[in-house]
Structure 1
């Protein structure tokens, strides 16, 4: 049987000069594989060819562009999006992209950048972080202040890739082997997703197609906890409504594909809700291959589901990707 087409919906760029362009980020306790930096599109293409990945949807790491809101932040977002669009243009059939935005409290700047990226640059969707700001100043994506952004995304039926922020907790990470990307980012994804659900924003803006990174982080296991306890704390939704709304998210498989986690996703989400992802170049080719092997093994007796996860679900969610694959045998 021919291998399924593979579309990686969780694939980053590390722009030159950014913190991620270094091979060690001591502030979050994680080492980027040294062979992946300095990052260039060719670094990704070599890994994609080795992993039989046909197309990758690029996005910037969370925290980019850095705030505060203002003209400089807007210019930085515009520069990132034009860089992403040029990468796609220069390597047709291999890359798509989720647009970067200015910090989300800059409503005017964000709305202008969404329009420019989607309408002029041909972005396939928009990348958002679970929260904006640090510590006590962090504001999560379901905040009322961000409603105009969600209204715009909803009116467009846009796809959104939601990634947990690299936010430190109130304590240090437990061990040098357990930095923020390992311990905190999955929970930040859950906090962003849960905020949208229990405030009613997920059902208020139903046309936005939100993809949660890393199989939702801790979202799927903690959703029943939020269902009852958030209702107790005042959410207008019943436990059943909360659970129903959690089931409307999409998830990618980056750094999460294992029979234990894939089984949970399969039991909770519809088959069209799971999409393939790697998190390259934050991880090495071999690390991504371990998860990819797990994914293939999990679906080995269900080739139609493997094909759906590998590419069909992404193509259905983001029809613009079909245009990028001109000349690729589907």
Structure 2
């Protein structure tokens, strides 16, 4: 019998999502009734979310807009700006109405540079965002792309916290639209191809690779070292990064004489990253991640509302069972709540 009363352990949820009324309308209007292959847009209300929080002893949830994000029509600058601003305001109003339960990560109108920089300041200074949810790619432009350097420079100036979130891999259909040219309507065509060779919902497999691509690109482009004041949260226990990090680092140095030493990469992950435990880190993924970082870099995530309540509870049970096998109660308390409280000053 467990010596730890997990029902009493507080959880702070850094990876949870809202479907606000206007965001739902935007999804439907732009043909995203089955985002990334999911069967439907889930129902969400603050009251439903708070009910689940009480059942699972989650004291604070940090809300964000999940994939497919706010750039729902490729390179539609005005619409992307409108969706980002509208949903950020909605999330801010929800947090103001339920301050004891919610905080929020703002969305950015990526890959548009001037609009994203303006939204960074507005979200932090006017709306009270605690950071930003940034998808692994914005219409095929990945974090670490030179085109996004001014945005990351501003995030660095503001000492921002970024929740990295996976999305479907996308590539530009027009060969003339190269990396770095995606910052304005005039530079690119508007057709986008979603890469999903197995034709199963992207969340089952492709997400894990796409967020890994983004982190590798941030490391190899040296964006992380150039922007030392950004704090990153990588979702889903590091995806497949722990398994391929050594291969990427050694291969880049051996064959191209470039890249960051694997020990330096691991140091950057230990110093600059937290990793949320949304999804299924137990029984296997967690051990690969813990070979690189310690439990002080881990935070809880439910992935609600895209993860339904029954599954949220099942995953908590798996986490409790797995955590008790490797950690003492004081460490578990830090992973479930303490680390996030320190990160966000809660």
Same fold by TM-score greater than 0.5: yes
Q: How many equivalent residue pairs?
A: 307
Q: 1:30 and 2:38 equivalent?
A: yes
Displacement, 1:27? 6.0
Give TM-score scaled by structure 2 length: 0.82
**Structure 1 counterpart of 2:51:** 46
Quickly say closer, same or farther: Cα 1:109–1:211, change in 2 above 3 A.
same
Q: 1:172 and 2:197 equivalent?
A: yes
Give TM-score scaled by structure 1 length: 0.86
Q: 1:272 and 2:304 equivalent?
A: no
Q: Where in structure 1 do 4 or more consecutive aligned residues deviate above 4 Å? A: 24-27, 168-171
User: Partners of 1:27 and 1:123 in 2: how far apart?
Assistant: 25
Do 1:224 and 1:243's aligned partners in 2 also have CA atoms closer than 8 Å? no
User: Partners of 2:121 and 2:195 in 1: how far apart?
Assistant: 37
Q: 1:226 and 2:248 equivalent?
A: yes
**Structure 2 counterpart of 1:13:** 18
2:264 paired residue among 241, 252, 255 = 241
Q: 1:88 and 2:95 equivalent?
A: yes
User: Partners of 2:28 and 2:251 in 1: how far apart?
Assistant: 38
User: Partners of 2:83 and 2:25 in 1: how far apart?
Assistant: 13
1:203-214 matches, cutoff 5 A: 203-214=225-236
**Structure 2 counterpart of 1:304:** 330
Q: What SS does the corresponding residue of 1:11 show, helix, strand or coil? A: strand
Displacement, 1:171? 4.9
Q: What SS does the corresponding residue of 2:197 show, helix, strand or coil? A: coil
1:247-262 matches, cutoff 5 A: 247=270, 248-262=272-286
For each residue in 1:121-157, what CA deviation from the matched residue of structure 2 results, as whole angstroms up to 9, or x when unmatched? Answer: 1111111011111xxxx11110111111111111222
Moved more, 161-170 or 289-298: 161-170
1:289-328 matches, cutoff 5 A: 289-300=313-324, 301-319=327-345, 322=346
**Structure 2 counterpart of 1:98:** 105
Displacement, 1:170? 4.3
What stretches of structure 2 of length at least 5 have no aligned partner?
Answer: 171-193
Q: What SS does the corresponding residue of 1:258 show, helix, strand or coil? A: coil
Do 1:198 and 1:242's aligned partners in 2 also have CA atoms closer than 8 Å? no
What stretches of structure 1 of length at least 5 have no aligned partner?
Answer: 323-330
Quickly say closer, same or farther: Cα 1:20–1:191, change in 2 above 3 A.
farther
Q: 1:126 and 2:126 equivalent?
A: no
